[in-house]
Chains A and B, each alone.
Chain A
Amino acid sequence: MKKVYIKEPVCMGCHLCEVYCQQAHSQSKDLLKAFKRETPRPLPRVRMEEKDHMSFSVRCLHCDDAPCVYSCLTGALSKDPETGVVDVDTERCIGCWTCILACPYGAIKRDTERHKMVKCDLCAGEEAPACVVNCPNEALAFADAG
């Protein structure tokens, strides 16, 4: 399946992946509204990590043996056998955060207003995820590495 990979040497740590992720997962799809005026507040599903001169962004890796899916107490999380995307059925999520403890990448976030987990959905329905499309330095690749 196609996944998002980092190219650490060319990441500038600009955080635009977070910004565009938040916009892509907002109701309005409007940058300003998504940041300032939407309730409940949309959340980015990607996290920038920085240390010294290094930086990269982290999001769900849609693992083959996904620990979050195996650990989910309610069955809300599943991996689509066709697309490989690990996704959440928000209706069934009870916000217990067991998935957060299971995830090796810290890739799951808490929506504390809705009491639901949120995670990267690879911008379902789009050709490529917003973080990749909008990375100004092409520091992210959306590719099938087999």
Chain B
Amino acid sequence: MAKTEKIKYLIIGNSAGGIGAAEAIREADKNGTITIVSDEPYHVYSRPQISGHLAEGRLLEEILYRKADFYRKNNIETILGSRVTRLDPANNQVEFEDSKIIGYEKLLLATGGTPIVPPMEGLEREKTFTFTTLDDAKAIDEFLNRHPDKTVRAVVIGGGLIGVSVTEALVKRGAKVSIIEMKDRILNTILDEEGSALGLAALKEAEVEVITEHTVTRVSTDAKGQTTGVTLDDGGTIDCDLVIVAIGVQPRTELAAGTDITLNRGIVVNRYMASSIPNIYACGDVAEAYDFVHEGNRLSPIWPNAYIGGRTAGLNMAGVSTEYEGGTAMNSMKYFGTAITSAGLVVPPDDSYEIFESRLDHAYKKVVVKDGLVVGMVFSGDIEKSGIIYNLMKDRVNVEDFKLTLVAEDFGLISLPEEIWRSKLEMPGSESNFPAVNGEEPEEIVILD
């Protein structure tokens, strides 16, 4: 048998998590071999911008997440457009679909998520449109291009971030869209009722039909296999040319299945992003990592957490022991020019939580507090300081003494305990820079003339 190639750091996944890890490894280890593998054939691109590709025809070159010379500059090998089909932890190697085998010292599973496509009469999984990859966007684009002379009617199943994002892109392309959402409001997992209402108003203005508390039970096709409509659970029908399934993503855990890697909903990782097999790490949408709001492991399939989790994994893979700070759901959206940020628990499950709210002109602020700790927030309109709130939540700062200021218009770092802002903003080691004044003028004072 030919000698198997052995890579020091093998990364499966070429998106936020994989790149975060590769960059961290290169900071810590200038020479160790890094190989990034992906079944997508593309240079790393900004996945959230696939909507820009569909809506405005932005090309791959215009949505690159890292510049074209990224891999070369960082001395990273890539194997793109090729799928790993088997993981063999006992021998520290992986097998590709073409039977090629590569060995590793440290492995990162950053395989992401795959759209959930539930069994549905008339729906063929292979022919189903989804919206998580550039190829998904291209497929929808091609469909629209095949029908240049008509208004394409689309049904989007699922009113979450992805469903709303593809809807916005479709509307920009002139399509007529209906969203079918199972729950009683769109964006229900990341926004409270007020936030959802803002999103809904924007969709209504764009003449999108939003049907809540219903599901699609059947997709109808004509003799040529073209989609002609859907049937809802109440028997109602909607004519359409295109169905896009956007009900959510599930972790792509298939490589870990059948190994000793502990799986729950995703790959369970410790605070160092290591799986139950010490030299195998996981991050991003495939991983169940620490969530500081829920104080336990949880899926949080969002881009920033993937990058930061990947970065933490990379540092640990390269021998720099680093604890994952934890993540939680956090999203920034824009509907109709109104910016909305949200994070954590936006709708408290019971009355043991305190809610602080303010409404001023077009600004809405809501902060959810439990036992003195911020556990959730929704800001719209005036979002500039929402990051301060998010970080109070992340750093588990007790806000009991200033919780009333959190949603005030003049809230800022100055609202926080003095030692917090002094330690961040003043020069390290400066005893508050100036001694107490004791009624005397500080020497260096200069009066503005």
Contacts and interface: CB of A to CB of B under 8 A. Distances in A.
Nearest to A137: B446
B36 interface: no
Contacts of A105: 387-388, 413, 424
B306 to A, nearest CB: 10
B426 A7 contact: yes
Interface stretch (A22-30, A34-42, A67-75, A123-131): A67-75
B387 A110 contact: no
A61 B236 CA distance: 56
B66 A51 contact: no
Contact of A104 (B66, B334, B383, B388): B388
10 interchain residue pairs of minimum CB distance:
A71-B304, A104-B391, A106-B385, A103-B387, A5-B427, A136-B448, A49-B412, A49-B414, A9-B434, A7-B433
B334 A96 contact: yes
B307 A100 contact: no
B304 A98 contact: yes
26 contacts: A5-B426, A7-B434, A8-B426, A9-B432, A49-B412, A50-B410, A51-B414, A51-B415, A56-B414, A61-B425, A67-B391, A71-B307, A73-B46, A73-B48, A73-B303, A74-B48, A95-B334, A96-B48, A96-B332, A101-B341, A101-B387, A102-B387, A104-B388, A106-B384, A109-B384, A137-B446
B433 A8 contact: yes
Interface residues of A, number: 47
Contacts of B390: 101-102, 104
A108 B331 CA distance: 16
A72 B8 CA distance: 28
B442 interface: yes
A70 B413 contact: no
Contact of B413 (A58, A74, A138): A58
Contact of A137 (B65, B304, B413, B445): B445
Contacts of B422: 8
Contacts of A75: 46, 64-67
A73 B432 contact: no
Contacts of B52: 94
B343 interface: yes
B414 A50 contact: yes
Given A104-B388, A110-B384, A112-B337, 17 more contacts: A6-B425, A7-B426, A9-B434, A9-B437, A47-B412, A49-B414, A58-B412, A74-B48, A94-B52, A97-B332, A101-B330, A105-B413, A106-B412, A109-B384, A136-B446, A136-B448, A145-B429
Contacts of A50: 410, 414
A133 interface: no
Interface string A80-122: 0000000000000011111011111110111010000000000
A31 interface: no
B434 A74 contact: no
A22 to B, nearest CB: 16
B20 interface: yes
A58 B388 CA distance: 12
Contacts of B67: 75
B65 A97 contact: no
Interface in B264-313: 303-304, 307-308, 311
Interface in B423-449: 424-430, 432-434, 437, 442, 444-448
Nearest to B67: A75
B383 A100 contact: yes
A10 B434 contact: yes
A1 interface: no
B167 interface: no
Contacts of A102: 304, 330, 387, 390
A74 B433 contact: no
Interface in A43-72: 47, 49-51, 54-56, 58, 61, 67, 70-71
B387 A104 contact: yes
A58 B425 contact: yes
B395 to A, nearest CB: 8
B261 to A, nearest CB: 26
B386 interface: yes
A96 B384 CA distance: 13
Which of B308, B426, B437 neighbours the largest number of chain A CB atoms within 10 Å of its CB? B426
B314 to A, nearest CB: 12
Nearest to A144: B427
